[in-house]
Structure 1
Amino acid sequence: MSSDALAFGAVVFAKDVPALARFYEAVLGLKRIHNADDHCVLRANSGMELVVHGIPRGIADSFSISSPPERREDCALKLFFPVPSLAAARARARALGGDVLGPEREWQMRGCRACDGHDPEGNVMQLREPVLESPRST
């Protein structure tokens, strides 16, 4: 087994694998390292991997995704990802069918500014932008 298979990561299940993979590539700046008919593996510079995996056809055909998608806020899991700029990620997300809530919904914690959003299939996520802390005056 290659050490690549031992990377930290997550799987997001998708009705439209190519569209969701494009979304995460563009919004998070991930690199596509593997592509197959039913899944795609994306990797961050940190080594974290996000696998976009197709929902089995029988299940995928049983539901539709509205436009804009309905946020799946009743999910027990929310992934969070670092981005260099919330504003840039928000623009890319909206251009690709997802969304990141507006600047008025951002909050600051532990050296970052965070904001929730969702991908084009309604999966809730959080993006975090590093914040340079201002030096304390002495």
Structure 2
Amino acid sequence: MKTGLVIYTSSIEKLATFYAHVFDMQMIESDGSYALLVGGDFELVLLETEVSKKGLSAFEARENTALKPTFFVNTPLEFIEEKIKAKGGVVFSPKNWTFGGRQVCDAHDCEGNIFQLRIGNDG
């Protein structure tokens, strides 16, 4: 099954650059009001609307959201953390537990959207 996520943004270009850089996603199409990025069987749609530009103008980590996307990565935490920081995101201290055989770590993107990293090897 292919999966996807839609994120409303105040800056398509900034957020598209973040996710493309951090998770090696490819931008498939964009017209200034949206961008479609793809990585494997995952599609990320970024939408920029007047409402999202007004509502997201002040940066803050949005920890009280009902959803937390999870990205599975097979690279060391130090490597993915450098990529996240280079594009304006933040990685929180790794949690002291694993889930599904992977180390769990939360982070947020350059607009404050919280996501989870699950770090390990599929092999």
Q: TM-score, normalised by structure 2?
A: 0.86
Cα distance, 1:126 vs. partner?
Answer: 0.5
Larger Rg: 1
1:87 maps to 78
Contact 1:28 1:82 in 2 (8 A): no
Cα distance, 1:106 vs. partner?
Answer: 5.4
- Aligned structure 1 segments of 4 or more residues deviating by more than 4 angstroms: none
Contact 1:12 1:51 in 2 (8 A): yes
Are the structure 2 counterparts of residues 106 and 63 from structure 1 closer, same or farther at C-alpha, using a change threshold of 3 Å?
same
Q: What runs of 5+ residues in structure 1 fail to find an aligned partner?
A: 1-5, 134-138
Are the structure 2 counterparts of residues 108 and 128 from structure 1 closer, same or farther at C-alpha, using a change threshold of 3 Å?
same
In 2: Cα distance, 1:41 partner to 1:106 partner = 34
2:16 maps to 21
Q: What runs of 5+ residues in structure 2 fail to find an aligned partner?
A: none
Q: TM-score, normalised by structure 1?
A: 0.78
Q: CA RMSD in A?
A: 2.2
Cα distance, 1:129 vs. partner?
Answer: 1.5
- Percent identity between the aligned chains? 32
Higher RCO structure, 1 or 2 (CA under 8 Å, sep 6+) = 2
1:130 maps to 120
